[in-house]
Structure 1
C-alpha cells in the first residue's frame, strides 16, 4: 500500500518547493494538493467538517501552478489534486493546464476531481449547484477527448466546441480519480473514473467500506476492466489502521498535513510532522 501526503498549500504555510522535496526525501510515494478558487464571504453553505470554516480554505495556492513548480524539483513522487473542483474551470483551459503539468512531471500527474460543496463558490463561476454532478462527468469526458485526439470536438449540454487544436498532449492520459463517498459514487467511478478517492473513512465504518471496495472491483471485473485503485484521503495515523486499510483493499493512503505556519515559521512544524509520518510508515 502506497503512502502519500495531501495538504491545503497556503500562503502562510510551508514553502511549496521545500514541501515537495521533503516529501520525496522522506520516501513518500505521492503529494496531492486541494483546490478552492476562492471562498465567498457570505458563508451560506454549511461546511461539511463543522461550524467554523478553517482559515486555510481561503488561502490555497492554485494547485496547477504549484504542482508544475513541484514537478521541476522532484523526480519520483506522484503529484496530483485531491480534489480539483473541475466545474469551476473552462474545460479547454483546464485540459491544457493538466497536460502541461503532466509533461513537466514526466507523466507523474494524477487528476483527482470532485463537484464541490460550496454552492456560493460554484455560483460565482456560473455553475448551477443542481447540475454539478452531471456537469462534472461531462467535463471529464471533454477533457479526455482533448487529451486523446489531434482535432478534438465535443458537443454536450454543458461543454460544446467544434474541432480544435490543443497541444501539448499529456505524456499519458492522467488517471482521473473520482472523489466522494455517497451512495452513487461507484457508478461515477466506473463510468468516468480510473480510481476512487473517498474522504476520511472512520475505523468504525471500515467493514462496510471494505464491502464497497469489493463491490467496486467486482463490478469493474464484470465490465471487463482491471483493478481500480482506491485512495483514502485523510488516513488515520495508527499502525493498526494502516493494516486495516490494506486488508480492506485500499491501494494508497493520503495523510493530511496540517496547515502549519506563522510570521516566524515557514515550515519547521510541517517538516517535523512529515518526520513523524515517515516513522509511522517506515
Structure 2
C-alpha cells in the first residue's frame, strides 16, 4: 500500500520537480544526470531511468525503435554510429539542447545509449546461444568440445569420442553432449572461454573439483553457473557489472568474463562452506547467488577474478 502511494505521488510530483529544476538550472534532467553522475553504472542507470519515465511521445517512440534494433541484433558496426547519431539528435531536438554549447552532453549521452541498448542486444545474443542445441554432427561444435579437453587436460589424450575420460573434467557420462541440454551451446562456450582465457585459474578450479572430500563435477557445476549468469543478465541484475566494465558496445565476451568470475568465486565459496557432500550444492549455490546479487546492487560494481588471473 505504501509503495503504491509513493508511486502515485512520484507520478504527479516528479514532473513538477523536473520543471522547477529546469527553470532554475537551465538544464533538463538528462543533462543534469550526464553532468552530475559518476560515469559508468551510476550515470547510465540514471539515464536509463529518466528515459523510461519520460512522458514525451517522441522519447517513447525512440525507446521502442531502439528496443527493436537491439532485439534483432542490428546495433553494430557502421549501423551503430548511425543509430547513436539519430538517438542523440532526437533527444537534442525534444529537449531543446544546443549541441554546440553542450557538446560534452552529446558525448556522454551517446555513450549511455550505447551501453543501455548494447546490454539489451547482448541478452538477445546470449539467448541465441542458449537456445542453440549442441549438435555432435556439427563439426564446429565438436571442435569446441575437443578444445575444451585440450585446454583442461593438455597432458592427456582422449581414447576416443565416447569415453569415461570426460568424467575427469566433470561431465556425467561418457558423452558430454547430453549435459548441454539445459544451456545449449552457451554452456560449452562459457567453459571453453574460462579454460582458454583464464587457463591457470581454470586449472586451479579443476584441481579443487577433484578434492577427495569437497570435490564436485567441474563441467556440470560450470553449466549450472552458466544458468545463474544468464538469469542475472536477463533480470537486469548484471547491469552494474556490464555498465562499469564495458568501454564500448557490450559483446558476448563480457558475458563470458562475468561467467568466469562467477565460476572462480563459486569455487572459493564452495570450499569455504566445507560441504559434507554434493547434496549441499543447491543450498550453497542459493547462498552464493544471494551474495552476488547484493554485490551487484552497488552501481559501481566491477568484478575481477584476481591478480593471478589478470597476469595470465
User: Per the shorter chain, which TM-score range?
Assistant: under 0.3
When normalised by structure 1's length, the TM-score is 0.27
Higher alpha-carbon Rg: 2
More helix by share: 2
RCO (CA 8 Å, sep 6+): is it higher in 1 or 2? 1
